[in-house]
A and B are shown apart, each in its own frame.
Chain A
Amino acid sequence: MSTTNGISTPPVTPSAAEGKVDFSSDQEVRWCPGCGDYSILKQVQTLLEQSGKKKEEVVFISGIGCSSRFPYYLDTYGLHSIHGRAPALVSGLRSVRPDLSVWMITGDGDALSIGGNHIIHLLRRNLDVNVLLFNNEIYGLTKGQYSPTSPEGAVTRSTPMGSTDHPFNPLALVKGADATFIARSMDRDPKHMREVLARADAHRGTSLVEIYQNCNVFNDGAFEVFTEKASKAGHTIFVEHGKPLVFANGTRGIKLNGMTPVVVDTYAGGTSLEDLWIHDERDSFKASILVRLFDDPRQEGAMPRPFGVFYVNDRATHESKLSAQVALAKERKGPGDLDALLKGEHTWTIG
């Protein structure tokens, strides 16, 4: 209870008093019923609530697309920008405000097609931003055209005879751009997603999390082989730092034959766990191989698709280097003296 000018004011809101802050905004969520975005929104809200962050220190910036409506549904600061340009906006924001928690919400079209140039530069500069890339392998908001991650041959409204484009392997692209935090998760595994998001949030630098997200209207079931119980075990591999790469309920694993990953059996008489590929998220070379585990799951003998934190690197952030230069300039030259600046180096006097 506080008193200002003798007027007594109500106590802080009950939810805050309990230490739990509700991060949902007053806006009605307008994604299609059944959209994978709901699950991601829920996990992000939960993570923020558990993180102890203040609402006002969190900023969400998005581009354009279904996923980019995300900022409206959180009671934080939010900016819904223009198609593909969110990386530019977060770069400017983060450069001047290293005190904030900055999140960028983007999709496969927004980040990898129209914003492809920006995302790679954000990653190489390494500004401390959490990037959530919702990949549904389709353009949803424009009603069903193929995206840069749609598989070759995808029949969509703009490709009735099948797509002739070779798709991006998003995480290989991200690795090529020297990202310092690379991870993959899926909308249908909330617990895993929450863990990965927490890791991403803790990382100092650009954290890129690709989230497989089902668009049940235009591309339903694109990832069902990875998400459905019947096929999940045999087609996914959940990597953990320091642990061997095993899947299919522990019966199979991946071994590195030189630079080549191969699937092996791990039961009695098979390859022992010590001989399997032990995941090391600090190993850049191994991460480059891991992101290449990208077989089409419909093909016979396809390698399982990895999920989890692939790679972490503690390279300095761009904003820390920028502010260090400003601090050094102030140390060397003193804080800016406007009169000295206007005067310049050479003057002459008349009269």
Chain B
Amino acid sequence: METPVKTKTVEQRQNVVILFAGDSGDGIQLTGAQFTDTNALFGNDVSTFPNFPAEIRAPQGTLAGVSGYQLHFGSVEIFTPGDQCDVLVVMNAAALKANLNKLKKGGTIIANTDGFDKKNLRLAGFIDEVDPLTDGSLANFHLHSVDVTKLTRTALEGTTLGMKEKDRCKNMFVLGFINWMYSRENALTEGFLRKKFSKKPDVLDANLKALIAGYNYGETSETFTTRFEVKAAPMPKGTYRSITGNQGTALGLIAGAQKAKLDLFYGSYPITPASDILHELSRHKNFGVLTFQAEDEIAAIGSAIGASYGGALGVTASSGPGIALKTEAMGLAFMLEIPLVIVNVQRGGPSTGLPTRTEQADLWQAVHGRNGEAPIPVIAASTPIDCFDMAFEAVQIALEHMTPVILLTDGYIANGSEPWRFPAAKDLPEIKPNFIPSVTSGSAETKPFLPYQRDERGVRPWALPGQAGLQHRIGGIEKQDKTGNISYDPANHELMVRLRAEKVAKIADRYKPIRLDSGPEQGELLIVGWGSTYGAIRTAALQLQGEGQSVAHVHIRHLFPFNKGLGPLLKKYKKVLVPEMNSGQMRQLLRAEFLVDAQGLNKIQGMPFTSEVIRAAALNLLKQ
């Protein structure tokens, strides 16, 4: 081991936001994920935000091709991937241009100089190909220019790989360097690489060499005199893993099916950003999971309805445009009163919109978007971990109340990850589908089976094909009360519309009492959020409370029907603020339902809120 050239100092940091950015082929997502895992393993709390282009391989060096991975890690509790970055690692000029506005004043830039040649500058749109690394325009930042490409190639001299393959190891050099900078070890990534490249020893060797070279570069380079340290966070004791929202949704669905002792049938059509649920589920066939990649979105939900009719847990997922296609079949499932879970991983809309960006603009679609009176319960997840809990709850509601259920997540939490102190299987509640025993031929009396005879919750029995004595016919046509036979009787139609709505309304009886996320039980301002804005609102609310403001935060999990405690809660504050990544859809629902003068804070940029924007809006409203 070489002796360090200079003594390096170590500075403590409470929390750090780092953004890795480069071409979509630079291995940015992998680098970010590895550094995340390393920090999580160390004991930091973490929150991530991967942000990648819609194109698989957009033209190299262009702004369109920039892929980013933002990580917020700390020795304190972390709720968001961070408003602004402390450190920006850029592999080329386009990555700098696309992300410089996210860097704090005085923040650190680590730039790969090889990505700032004339061609890269031109592609990134730097006028006259002026190099920002040398023209002084970055004087407000701590700039470190490193020729990553050259250093990586030097480190890999003597290996058998071609130049192109050597250059692919650049990301490992960067990761090794960042590990050094934040006083982390390479061990986790070394293990990862050994597994990933177990059958390609030369590639493994090169990646390991680049990783170590990056680390040693930090150690020996004279330009870097300071290392940072972020101590472990006071996380609750226990065993953790990392989980993304889409993984959480998939695992929640499987856990739900297992707790109901049912097979899970997942009908789906590939769509960004929901496809990872299909990928995850298809790996777990040994849990009785059947995945069906249908010919289109309609067939995806249709097959799931068919599977539910047969006694499995039918599930389908998509994103906005795909959900639009499923609408008619959602009406059928509602009319049949059959269990079904529909997941909408929302993205920017309308139409094709912004496939890889996030939005909360499908709320009205979920609550209102069907022909006729077809209320379907709608619930929303607020964090990657919460995707697990809400997917499980969606299964509970669907099976125990014989209804389709819509679960809203979005691209932000679907791809984001956080450490999860996962539950033990035994601690998850059993789910009891509303089955009915078969009628054997020896029964005392043979009353005709009534498929729409409801219990006190308004729920009908689930009779499965194959069960003797329970043969019945159901369909999308209006049906007679109790028998399910076709009926066009006017009074019966009104009765059925009311019975179906009452059944869904009664689902609110099962909710736990509503609970504030933070803040006083009554006061000046209540911030009402739902879905993925949770972390930003929580951060802002805690800060405002710390500043002595009378601000509380409630996060709505049940969007339809609402929690019965929500109305009374809203009345306990003088003002209500509803931050949403849409034009005010929840605000309008709250106004319509509770006659409350809720004010909106709306962002429709395909990007999540920063907590600072929410804090400022709250302060502004408090002043009025």
List chain A positions with a Cβ less than 8 A from chain B.
2, 4, 7, 9, 12-13, 16, 25-27, 54-57, 59, 61, 71-72, 75-82, 85, 87-97, 99-100, 117-118, 121, 322, 325-326, 329-330, 332-336, 338-339, 341-344, 346-351
Q: Which residues of A contact B240 (CB under 8 A)?
A: 347-350
Closest 10 CB pairs of A and B: A88-B302, A351-B237, A80-B475, A92-B306, A336-B287, A92-B303, A89-B306, A92-B307, A78-B473, A329-B285
> Please, could you name 22 A-B residue pairs with CB atoms under 8 Å apart, sorted by A?
A4-B444, A27-B473, A56-B465, A79-B309, A80-B476, A85-B302, A92-B304, A92-B305, A92-B310, A92-B314, A93-B306, A93-B309, A93-B465, A97-B465, A97-B466, A117-B296, A334-B286, A341-B284, A348-B41, A348-B241, A350-B236, A350-B240
| Total contacts A-B at CB 8 Å | 224
Q: Which residues of A contact B310 (CB under 8 A)?
A: 92-93, 96-97, 100
* B329: Cβ under 8 A from any A Cβ: yes
B476 touching A81, Cβ below 8 Å: yes
A88 touching B299, Cβ below 8 Å: yes
A82 touching B328, Cβ below 8 Å: yes
- Chain B interface size band reads 35 or more
How far is the CB of B46 from the nearest CB of chain A, in Å? Answer: 12
How far is the CB of B479 from the nearest CB of chain A, in Å? Answer: 10
Output the nearest chain A residue to B195 by Cβ-Cβ distance. A345
Output the nearest chain A residue to B254 by Cβ-Cβ distance. A341
Q: Which residues of A contact B290 (CB under 8 A)?
A: 95-96, 322, 326
B295 touching A117, Cβ below 8 Å: yes
How far is the CB of A179 from the nearest CB of chain B, in Å? Answer: 15
Question: Quick check: which of B61-69, B421-429, B553-561 contacts chain A, the rest being far away?
Answer: B421-429
Interface residues of B in 329-355 (CB under 8 A from A): 329, 331-332, 336
A178 to B573, CA, bound (A): 66
Q: Which residues of A contact B397 (CB under 8 A)?
A: none
* B235: Cβ under 8 A from any A Cβ: yes
* B251: Cβ under 8 A from any A Cβ: yes
Contact with A along B289-331 (1 / 0, CB 8 A): 1101011101111111111111110100000000000001101
Instruction: Specify which of B251, B285, B471 is in contact with A56 (CB 8 Å cutoff).
Output: B471
* B239: Cβ under 8 A from any A Cβ: yes
> Chain B at the A interface: mostly helix, strand, loop or mixed?
mixed
A79 touching B474, Cβ below 8 Å: yes
B286 touching A336, Cβ below 8 Å: yes
A27 touching B43, Cβ below 8 Å: no
Q: Which residues of A contact B441 (CB under 8 A)?
A: 12-13, 16
* B249: Cβ under 8 A from any A Cβ: no
* B526: Cβ under 8 A from any A Cβ: no
Known: A96-B311, A333-B286. A338 touches B476 (CB 8 A): no
B332 touching A82, Cβ below 8 Å: yes
B307 touching A95, Cβ below 8 Å: yes
How far is the CB of B244 from the nearest CB of chain A, in Å? Answer: 11
Contact with A along B412-455 (1 / 0, CB 8 A): 00000000001111001000000000100111100010000000
A9 touching B442, Cβ below 8 Å: yes
B238 touching A351, Cβ below 8 Å: yes
B242 touching A346, Cβ below 8 Å: yes
B238 touching A95, Cβ below 8 Å: no
Output the nearest chain A residue to B295 by Cβ-Cβ distance. A121
Q: Which residues of B contact A57 (CB under 8 A)?
A: 465-466
A78 touching B472, Cβ below 8 Å: yes
Known: A93-B306, A97-B311, A342-B423. A56 touches B265 (CB 8 A): no
Q: Which residues of A contact B131 (CB under 8 A)?
A: none
Q: Which residues of A contact B444 (CB under 8 A)?
A: 4, 7, 9
B255 touching A85, Cβ below 8 Å: no
A332 touching B286, Cβ below 8 Å: yes
* B381: Cβ under 8 A from any A Cβ: no
Output the nearest chain B residue to A59 by Cβ-Cβ distance. B465
Output the nearest chain B residue to A2 by Cβ-Cβ distance. B442
